[in-house]
Every structure is written in structure tokens, then in C-alpha cells.
Structure 1
Amino acid sequence: MASVTLSEAEKVYIVHGIQEDLRVDGRGCEDYRCVEVETDVVSNTSGSARVKLGHTDILVGVKAEMGTPKLEKPNEGYLEFFVDCSANATPEFEGRGGDDLGTEIANTLSRIFSNKSSVDLQALCISPGEHCWTLYVDVLLLECGGNLFDAISIAVKAAVFNTRIPRVRVLVDEEGSKDIELSDDPYDCIRLSVENVPCIVTLCKIGYRHVVDATLQEEACSLASLLVSVTSKGVVTCMRKVGKGSLEPESIFEMMETGKRVGKVLHSSLQTVLHKEESLGPKRQKVGFLG
């Protein structure tokens, strides 16, 4: 993951400010930076979104392709994630430098969306055991400026919201053979509900306090972080600790409560932006919000 080098004096300045609930950029410990969301940005995809959070820039494209359901889930479609850490985002991603991070992010997203309550996967089924829709979600890191997981989860939710899947009809002839017919009408499509799709809230432990939406400089002062996957109703669906440091049980509980509180506000703001973005139609423009 991208990082910066700070002197001891700089670290002390950041840590002492956070203890007083005053960060370098003027935010409080539970404040997000302005998030810029833009949907339908890639023409050759079923859905797409671009999210800018501080200096972090994420592009997500979703492609719907017809496939075969998994044996253990014959009545469901599924999502597959691929994360590309562009070398333009940070020199540390040159060569195969970003492969491990890309795999880590993809696995985290798979864990979140494997929860049945996140997305109605049965809506992706065309013919049980035979045909289903597979959504290939491609995430591209254009610029890395801290708080990657949160920005990516916001971009993925926005892209899935923007996704339009052609409606399919299964025709059965007299002999019992099935024929699949795709609608020619671009407006005759399936839209997935993203109401229960969670967003990730990353809480970085710095000194005796924790912050959300940490910058690269703040991440350099943190030895441990907690990734909390939160739904719009404040339900935690997944949690993972990252970093070399340790977290006390009391700290984990406090961070979870903060994650649920902040996550509900984040979802509410994002939903408002997505519906406003869609209503703009051909005159769509970038919309920002504060988490």
C-alpha cells in the first residue's frame, strides 16, 4: 500500500492534534473529506462509477455476461472482482508491486458480497442450474492518497447502482428445448437494489483515539486499523483488522460503534447523491458530499 515517510516531529504533531479532536486539515476524528461521485463514466460497460476521495481516485466498471450458475448455488448468479493497482497511482505499484494489495482488496469485496443480504443474487438467475448473469466488477486504482478500502466500497456500490442488465426471456418449444431471447429495448432491463450493499468504514488507531478517512500521513502514524463493513441500517456484516499493531477489546468495541454511526451517515449521503446523479440524465455532473 502507498505510504509516506514522516519525521518524528511530524508524527508527534499529528498524534497530539488527534488527541484534541483536531486533525491537520481541520476535520474532527469522525469527519470524512468531500467525496466526489460520478456514475456512467465508461460507455462499454453495464455500469460504472468514479469516486474521488481526497487524493484517492477510483474507477469501477461492471460487465454483465451470461454464464453457468455454481453447483452449490444453482438458483443464483454471482459477482467476481478484479482489482488493478495502476503504477500511475504510486511508484510502489510498479511491476508486480500492487498484486498483493489488489488480491487483498478483491478478497475483501468477495467476502462482503457473498452475504445473501447484500445483493439479491437470485435476481441474476435466468434458468436454474443452466444460465445466470455473472457480474465482473473491475476496480482500477488511478491515484492512491489514503483510505483505499472506503473509497473502493463507495465506488463499487455506485457502479452496481448504475448497472443495467438486459432482460432475458426463456422460451420453451413443444419438444421441451429452451431458447434464450434478449430484449432489444435498452430500457427493458434489470436494476439491482443496493439498499443493503454495505460500505467499508476504516478506523485507524492513532495514539489513544481512532479516526475515519485517514490521509496517507495519518496512516503513517497508525500501527493498526479496523475495517468495518456497515449497512445503511448500521448492521456490521464483516470486520477485519489490518496492520502490525494490536487492538484492545475495549478499543475494538469503541471503533465498531463509531463505524456503525459514521457508516449510517455515509450511506444516507451516498444514496442522496446517487439518486440526484441519476435524475440529471444526459446533463449528469459530478456531485460531492460530506460523510
Structure 2
Amino acid sequence: MALCEAEKTFVLHGVEENFRIDGREREDYRPMELETNIISHAFGSARLRLANTDVLVAVKIEVDVPYPERPREGKLEFFVDCSANATPDFEGRGGEDLAIEISNSLAAAYRSPEVFDPSKLCILKGRKCWKIFIDILLLECGGNLYDAVSIAVKAALWDIRIPLVKSVTVDGNNIDMDVSEELHNCQKLDVTGAPVMVTVCKIGEQCIVDPNVAEELCSVGAVVIAVSQDKFSTVLQKGSGSLHPQTLLECLQMGLSVARRLNEALLETLQQIKPSMNQDVGFLK
């Protein structure tokens, strides 16, 4: 997508007047559609559509061995796939660098035990643990990928169902686990403190959140911060361009304020979702 100078000026003036080209104010998000439990063979799943940005997340679990330096913790691994149909920029290997950046940012955001407690995934200290694979598929790109991905990941982890381990028997190097096969006999993860990412862009002399593609092209600088429910940023990543220290502080203040409201709205929505285990739901039904 390319913008002429007149289009860029139109976007700039709209931001200055706090009336963006789609009618939003500077701190407003575009409409979102969220679905959970939409992939039957996954342990947890979610799909988020943020205007023209579409993200699908599926979670799978397997038994693994803890890291030697962290014997009481489980493992969390992120994998991002940029579909070639999402945007022409992803054709060939065009989306690989972006996929690595997003997965690394998510790993850094979830690294702190204050936002996600990996000890809940430990089965037997130093011997067995749960390893969670979070597969993220970018179906369509309409701007603000980091925010959309982080929201979808948190929703998928909220939906996750971990099999209940009834007992563990150790006989030398052999470890036998009695895992419940009942679908409803499972554990849920507490992800209320899991972070969401907020992208703050500077256009002209003002900062905005949830930029669309046109606004991203007009941005002179951007930062991405990850904020948990009641904590400040767990990861900070600078996007393109450069920012004055005072501008960076303003971006952080806006991002923190918006992230707290976003977290509250997301948790309220997730608590209202009660999918039926015997009914097909979602767009993959």
C-alpha cells in the first residue's frame, strides 16, 4: 500500500484534530471479534479479528523434561506463521523476519513469573513438565499486528484445558503417569495477569494507538509495550523511526493507560464466554 502526499496530509490533520480517518479518537481501538474453543483437536484456541487484521491461535500440550536450571517450571514456546494470503509482502519468505520478531516479543513478555507462573506446568520436579506450544497464524494483515496477536494468545491460554494428572509413579528412570481421559476433568491456567501488547505510534505531534495500515505508513516512530493486568511494561520494543525522550514518555503513559482498559475489557469478555463442549462453534464449524 502506498500513500500520496495529499493522503498523508489528510491522515496527519485528522490525528491533530483527534478525529481519525475512520472516525476514531487517538486512544480508540477498532471493533474486535473474539472467538474461543473453535478448533476441536487443540487444547485451547482463539480467533481475533481486529478490523481487517485476522489472527488464529491454537495451543497444544505435550509432556517434556524441565530445563536443568529451572527444574520446577514448565515450558512455553511461541511459533508464528505469516500466511502468504495475508498480504503480498509475505509471499515467498517475506514474513519470516516479522514472525521471528513477534515470537521473540511474546517470549520476552511472558518470561516474567509475575505475569505467567510456569511452575503451574511442573508435574515432577526435574523430571516431567508440560510444554505448551502456541501456534499463531496471521490470516490477514490490516495493521497493528502485535496488539491483535497478544490479545488472541491471551484468549487461547484462557481457553486451554490441561489434562489432570491423577498420580505419578517413579521406578528408577521409568516414570509412569496416570492421566485422566475425561474431557471435563482438566485444569485451567490462571492467565489474568498475562500481558497484552499496545502499539503506540507518533503521527505529527500526537500519539495514537491501534494504527491501521495508512496510519502506520504515516508514523514517524512507534513503540510496542506489553502490560499485564496490574503491572507496568514487561517488554519494550521500539519500532521504526526515532522518538524524543519526552515523546517516548508520553507514549509509555498512553500505552499503560490504554492497556489497562484493554485488559479489563478482555477479561470481562472472556468470563462471559461459556462455550459448549458438545456443540460446534466458530468459523471452522
Match of 2:28, SS state, is coil
Cα deviation 1:169-197 (Å, max 9, x = unaligned): 33337889642110122222121111110
- What residue identity is the alignment partner of 2:268? T
Matched, 1:107 2:104: yes
Q: Deviations 1:91-134 (Å, cap 9, x if unpaired)?
A: 11111111111011010011011111121211100111111000
Instruction: Write out aligned runs for 1:162-181 (5 A).
Output: 162-172=159-169, 178-181=175-178
1:11 aligns with 2:3: no
Residue 243 (structure 2) aligns with: 247
Supply the AA of the counterpart residue of 2:262: L
1:261 equivalenced with 2:226 (yes/no): no
Give the alignment of 1:169-248 within 5 angstroms. 169-172=166-169, 178-243=175-240, 245-248=241-244
SS of alignment partner, residue 77 of structure 2: strand
Return the alpha-carbon distance in structure 1 between the equivalents of residues 85 and 68 of structure 2: 40
1:133 and 2:130 matched: yes
CA 1:174–1:12: 2 relative to 1, 3 Å: closer
Equivalent residue for 1:24, pick from 13, 21, 24: 21
* Corresponding residue SS for 1:220: helix
Q: TM-score, normalised by structure 2?
A: 0.94
Distance verdict in 2 for CA 1:60–1:175, change over 3 Å? closer
Paired with 2:231 and 2:110, the residues of 1 have a C-alpha distance of 17
CA distance in 1, matches of 2:242, 2:166: 53
Match of 2:38 among 37, 41, 58: 41
C-alpha distance in 1, partners of 2:173/2:134? Answer: 35
2:94 match: 97
Which whole-Å CA distance do the structure 1 matches of 2:13 and 2:68 have between them? Answer: 55
Q: Which runs of 5+ in 1 are unaligned?
A: 287-291
CA contact (8 A) 1:51 1:154 kept: yes
TM-score, with structure 1 as normaliser: 0.93
5+ residue gaps, structure 2:
none
Count of aligned positions: 282
- Percent sequence identity is 44
Aligned AA for 2:255?
A: G
Tell me if structure 1 keeps the 8 A contact 2:37–2:281. Answer: no
- Note the alpha carbon deviations across 1:37-59, whole angstroms, 9 max, x for none: 00011111100000000100000
Could you tell me how far 1:235 is from its partner in structure 2? 2.0
Correspondent of 2:81 among 76, 81, 84: 84
Q: What is the CA RMSD across the aligned residues, in angstroms?
A: 1.8
Q: Check whether the contact 1:55–1:146 (CA below 8 A) recurs between aligned residues.
A: yes
My pick for the range that moved more, 147-156 or 16-25, is 16-25
Paired amino acid for 2:273 = E
Query: Given that residues 198 and 229 in structure 1 are in contact (C-alpha distance below 8 angstroms), is that contact kept between their aligned partners in structure 2?
Result: yes
Give 3-state SS (helix, strand or coil) of 2:76's partner.
Answer: strand
